[in-house]
Structure 1
């Protein structure tokens, strides 16, 4: 349920001096940042969705990227960063206006994302490992990076479909995030006993499609 994102899914600076990339059919190789080109993230073309679940129900919604960059070497994504505006997080499944407002008030509070104190979330790519023999319509890389939410930074890895063609770089996929690692512990069985069917699962998912030019 109330476990988000932002997901996010979701950028700070860039890879320091280099990125590590496993090219299709090869072992990981070092790609120097100097050899990579910078593609600017297009927030108006990119999308970010989230879904969180509790024992008896769940919620989903969206958030908005504000910008970022993807680093490209040849026809491969090798690094980058993205930034999410946490004040744009909203739920799309609660149709009643009063219930929606109450829910989002809780999401923005210190129980969850403390958006007044932490208005942005970031994701910084540290490694892109390509999957040998991946089908054309399947995930073809595992992306590792540092996700920062509420001032807390943790490394996460998730599969994605990435590609570069005609001056456009794209990355899409779904990442699973443990909210408790970002000091979002409200309703977690991992920290509160005896809450029964009021428990909210620790993991939430971020579904993203990032476009950069």
Structure 2
């Protein structure tokens, strides 16, 4: 009887140990970059501007249907304004791509790598990730909602953390109505 109890105990202990070390059932789903979008909106004292930037590549990682990771690369050279036309559109886009802002010649891509994913609703997750812009990497936290083969996220990014200084009250005094606020919004719609 003691041998049977010991054998049963060992079987249960080793059974739990074996199942705890089994690899995760991870599934990496590539994002369809041509069907996905990243929209931005930036604010200044006298108004705002908005536009888009293209995803170069991206993937979400799932384990048994639950989001557990992701990584994305954005093509900063594709940065465009959608609220202006003609000469003013070209000037704004050129300025945003210059070293005053995102320096896309030296930094043609930005990346986001998920470091922590916590479920916070039926189809919703709180995600923390490492965002790299202009060679500076900082953590960001945002919510992601997933429905079928689509995901959406909205983020606030503080450009001052990435050394994007132009018109920033964090770096310059007495800008008055020429101040451009440090935070800008990203609205991301993914298809995978």
TM-score range, shorter chain: 0.7 to 0.9
Q: In the alignment, what sits opposite 1:46?
A: 36
Distance 1:119 1:48 in 2: 16
Distance 2:168 2:21 in 1: 41
Deviation at 1:81, TM superposition (A): 0.4
Q: In the alignment, what sits opposite 2:81?
A: 91
Q: Is the Cα–Cα contact under 8 Å of residues 154 and 185 in structure 2 kept in the other structure?
A: yes
Matching of residue 145 in structure 1 with residue 116 in structure 2: no
Residue correspondences, number: 173
Alignment of 1:1-213 (within 5 A): 34-95=24-85, 97-132=86-121, 140-163=124-147, 165=148, 168=149, 170-212=150-192
Q: Supply the RMSD in Å over aligned alpha carbons.
A: 1.9
- Render the CA deviation track for 1:168-211: whole Å, top value 9, x for unaligned: 3x320210000011110111111111111110000000000122
Where does structure 1 lack aligned partners over 5 or more consecutive residues? 1-29
CA change 1:59–1:31 in 2 (3 A) is farther
Question: What's the TM-score once normalised by structure 2's chain length?
Answer: 0.85
CA change 1:197–1:58 in 2 (3 A) is same
SS in 1 for 2:174: coil
State the structure with more CA Rg. 2
Distance 1:123 1:182 in 2: 13
CA change 1:125–1:118 in 2 (3 A) is same
Distance 2:21 2:161 in 1: 30
Distance 1:109 1:129 in 2: 37
Distance 2:106 2:145 in 1: 33
- Greater relative contact order structure (CA < 8 Å, 6+ sep): 1
Distance 2:21 2:100 in 1: 41
Question: What's the TM-score once normalised by structure 1's chain length?
Answer: 0.77
Distance 1:31 1:179 in 2: 41
Distance 2:76 2:24 in 1: 32
Q: Is the Cα–Cα contact under 8 Å of residues 31 and 78 in structure 1 kept in the other structure?
A: no
Runs of at least 4 residues off by over 2 Å: 30-35
CA change 1:33–1:194 in 2 (3 A) is farther
